[in-house]
Structure formats: structure tokens, C-alpha cells
Amino acid sequence: MTSSSLRPKLLFLFFIIIFIGIILRLFYWQIIQGYSLKRVAENQATKEKILTGKRGQIFTSDQHLLVGNKEMYYLMVDKTLLKDSSELLAKKVSSLLAEKELLESSSSGSIVELKTLTQEKQAYIQERLNLNSTWIRLSSRIDQDLKNKIEQLADPALYFESYDVRFYPEASMAAHLTGFVGKDEDGFDLGYFGIEGALNQELQGKQQKKRFLTDALGNLLGGENTIDNQSLNGRDFTLTIRRDIQFLLETELKNGLERYGGNSGEIIVMEPNTGNILGLAAFPQYDQTKYYTFPAENYKNPSLANLYEPGSTFKTITVSAGIDAGVIKPETECLKCDGPREIGKYTIKTWNNEYNPNITMTDALAKSDNTAMIYITDLLGKDKFVEYLKKFGIGDEIGLDLQDDSSTPFPDKWGPVELATSSFGQGISTTSMQMVRAVSTIANDGVMMRPKILEQVTDYQSKKTIKIEPIEERRVISPETARTVTEMMINSAKHGEAQWIFKNTHTVAGKTGTSQIPIKGGYKQDATIASFIGFAPAENPRFVMLVKINEPQTSPWAAETAAPLWYRVASKLFLLLNIPPDSTASPTP
């Protein structure tokens, strides 16, 4: 075989060997090492990111934002990129931080104050820059305006990391309802009190780890790689309160406390047929953005958390129980009302030490006669009276989505004295919301509705908005009893202690209450809780309202403090709720 004929064969064999080698090599990289190479390629071409949804927002029923989110920034420094000395950087940054803080703390600040604050900031930043770390946080709560000013320094060592904080467009409005967001032991956001505390899990944004394809520069590629974390957002909640009504209550309560010298107070407005709370104001209040500067006792919602002896407003429950049980009628005369009642070693008097022999139950409610209420419980007996108190929800939690809601102590001792004093609202404790719920039952033809603060919930994962329907708890008294007690409460409003303030445009069913303040060993001297509870219009009630003033100084009596404030607020509620006049009857002098 000649060399010329052998050469093509060798060349062909050479290519065969190379081809087999390539096939084997491809088999090794694609089959044997394929999975490892794929992981390497993915690591080079993908970016891992933890997505975090925003905390849910809170709205009023008329769609005004109460609580939202605002982007803020941490001011950071990369010490490897410092072009100036740490002293010079600290000086430049501290002047901007001090100027901003001084403007936020007061409308104007002196040059001396600015200089002092700047020096304090400079010392702090200098101390931070001396830390043995490359990346250091210099300050927090940097807003967009301050961020822009710091960026004008054009220092490459400075950079920002964004985060969200709670934002309150209506300032401290409804603070006792919303609560606030603080930090837990690990430094993570956590809701405290109100809606924020009760529904923290639902409001909290969810987290998800996700990998994204990137280009050679590390930028995210389009299509499915677009970051959309709206589905991770916490749930939004719409409350039942109206912005205009809430503003009215807070304004009038503040003015009323100043007018009558009270140290604290509450106003609650609720729809009796739905349980919707249209407004709830309580003072002293606090600013959610600076909650840490206020006493901790300000955080709790007093309408749910604070016990008090309701006094004569409680007589509406006693009268309802007596009429519903059939032991009295409005015209029933009291056979033991001609003087103080002697029960054991105790003497129980009327509030004004005046007595009305054979007074009718209707007049007894109007005159707030303690001895007549004791007479009702005499006829009812302990077991029946206690049964009605429990039916009216005294001692039971309200069922609101607020962190402060809980059950309250119910008396376990019911001797003759306890039975007598409880009949007129002393010696028994309740909360403002329990009283509103109880009187709303009378206004709603005897049916108790669960008080409600949530109107609807928006869930971003399911992309659904869920409406919260009213909940009927139970029938407490008959419709006939409810209408009878309503007429008695109308008479009480017209002819009772507060008759001088009764308006002749809208028929009101109401009752005053002046109670003592219990302390260890007895009652606080020269101090009362003045309250007025009522509903209007009496025929078809649109709202039930409780006004409560703690320790009024101008007068201890509810007829001269809480009642005038109730009517002042009611006159404006009639306009806001578009309630036309229903009566032209003038009050009896």
C-alpha cells in the first residue's frame, strides 16, 4: 500500500478519533457535569432577593387614609470610600441633621440651640465613624427632603437604605382605635394596642425569597422577572368610623373638658341597628408617631379597658329588667320610697336626699330615684336581676377587633346591700362600651347587636375585598319592653335633671348619670364621673351616644356638664347624618 493511498485513510481515522473525543467531551460536560454547570450558570446570571410586602393601611368608612406607609431612609457610610477625614464628614452631616431635628421639634430655634444640637450630633457621628466596621449606620428617619440635601454633599462614601414607617395623614386622630407600630425584642415591627395590636398578623407584610435572571451588568431582565410584591402586602382595613364624625367628637370632647375642667373623658357614637361605631374619642390622647414620649397609660382605649361605676345611667337596665320580667309597669307606684332605705347596718339615700312617696316608675327614672330602683330589685329578686345583667352583657367582652377588648369582672357576691346599690349603678363596675351596647339594645327594639369597628377587609393575595356584616348577638328584652323603656327615657330627658338643655327639634331618649369614684377603702371625696347616654331620634334611632367626663370641676353633676356636651354634639350629628327634625314639642319648664 502506497503512502498516497494510506494518507486519506489516516486522515479519516484522525477525524473519527477527534469526533469521538468531542462526543465524549460533550457527554462529560452535558451529562456528567451538566447539573453542576447549570447551577454555576444560574448563580452567575441570577440574583436572589427577599421581597417584603408593605404593612396594611387603615381607612375611615368614607375612604380617608388614617394610617399608611411612608418611605424613610437610613444614612449609611462606606468607610472605604471616604474622601474627607471622618471629622470633616461628621461636621457636614451633623449640621444638616441638627437643622432638620430643630425644625421638627419647634417652629423656630435659636442659633445657640442649633449650635448645641449640631455639636451633639457631630460627637455622635464621630463616635460611630470610629467603629471597627466598614459599613456603618449614621442616622435613621431620614425623609426625602433631608436625603436630597445630604446627596448634594456629593460624598461617595455616603449612601442610603430605604425602609417604611407608619404615616398618619390625619395626625393623631383616632389614636385609641388605630394603636401604633413599635419594635419587638428582636427589633422587628410589631403592632401595639387598637387595630395595630389586635390585627398585627393580618396587617403585617409577608416575606418571600425569590431569584431573578439578570444581564451581564446584574440588572433584572424583563418579563416574569419583574418584581411585583403587591401580593405580599398586608391586609388593608376600612373602619366603620367616619372622618367628619371622629373629628367632631375629638374637637368637642377637648373643648368640653376645658369648659368643665375634667381631667379625662370619652364620647362614643354607635348605630344601634348595625353596631357600627361611627366615632370614638378619648382624652388624654397621644401621637402615634411619637408614642414613646407619652405616658404608657395613654395607650389603652379607656372605653374598653377602664372600669367605672356608671351611676344613674345604669337605671335604664334596672327598669328594663323590671318591665320585661313583668314585675313593674311605667305607672307602678313605689311603696318604699317615702324615706331612706335601711338595709342591714347601712342607710341608702337618694342623690338629693329628697323623697317621693308612691312615685311612679316613669317619674322615678326622670327624678333618678335610688329608692325606687331598690324597690324594683326587691320585686325581681337577686337571681332574676343577675340574669338580666348578664343578658345585657355586663361583664362580657365586646367582640371588637381592638387589642384592649376583654371581659370585665362580674360581681360574685350578691348580698342585700350589693343588690340594692347595683340597682342604681353603684358598687358594680362596667366599661363605657358595655353601657353603649346595653342602651343600644333598648334603642334596637330589644335586640343586641355586636359593636363593630371594621367595615371591610382588602386581601392582596386573594385580590378580594370582604365586607364585614353586622352580627346579631341575641334578643335581650321584648320589643314591647324596649318601646316602653324608650318612652320612659324620653320623659326622663324632658323632665329629668337635664330638662333645661332638652331641645325641641329632635326627640331624645336619654339618662344622666353622676357616680362616685371608688378608691381603696371607700370613695374619692369631692370627685365624680358625669355621664349622659341617649339615642335619637327616639322613634327610629340613628345613633346612640355616651358622653363621659371624669372629675369635672365646674359642677359635679352630669346635668350641668355631660348632658350639655351631649346635646352640643348631637345638634351637629343631626346635620352630619342628615336627620330631619321630628318634634316641635317644647320642654316643660
- Span 530-578, pLDDT tens digits: 999 999 999 999 999 999 999 999 999 999 999 999 999 999 999 999 9
**What per-residue confidence (pLDDT) applies to 220?**
56
Strand, helix or coil for residue 514: strand
More confident residue, 496 or 169: 169
Residue 85, pLDDT above cutoff 60: yes
Residue 39, pLDDT above cutoff 80: no
Neighbours of 345 (CB within 10 A): 6
User: What's the whole-number mean pLDDT along residues 238-246?
Assistant: 98
C-alpha 563/C-alpha 526 separation (Å) is 20
C-alpha 131/C-alpha 135 separation (Å) is 9
**What per-residue confidence (pLDDT) applies to 222?**
54
**What per-residue confidence (pLDDT) applies to 589?**
35
Query: Quick one: pLDDT band at residue 11, thresholds 50, 70, 90?
Result: low
Residue 34, pLDDT above cutoff 80: no
Query: Quick one: pLDDT band at residue 6, thresholds 50, 70, 90?
Result: low
Q: Please give the distance of CA 115 from its chain centroid, rounded to a whole number.
A: 40
Domain spanning 243-289+308-576: which CATH class is it, in words? Answer: alpha beta
**C-alpha cell read off for 396:** 362580657
C-alpha 360/C-alpha 365 separation (Å) is 9
Residue 73, pLDDT above cutoff 60: yes
Give, in degrees to the nearest 5, the angle at Cα 460 between 192 and 176: 25
C-alpha 383/C-alpha 397 separation (Å) is 22
**What per-residue confidence (pLDDT) applies to 84?**
79
Residue 355, pLDDT above cutoff 90: yes
**What per-residue confidence (pLDDT) applies to 505?**
86
Give the E-state strand segments of 24-119 in sequence order: 46-52, 58-59, 65-78
Residue 583: exposure state from Cβ atoms within 10 A (0-12, 13-18, ≥19): middle
Greatest alpha-carbon pair distance for the chain in Å reads: 149
Torsion over CA: 175, 178, 183, 185 (sign): positive
C-alpha 250/C-alpha 246 separation (Å) is 6
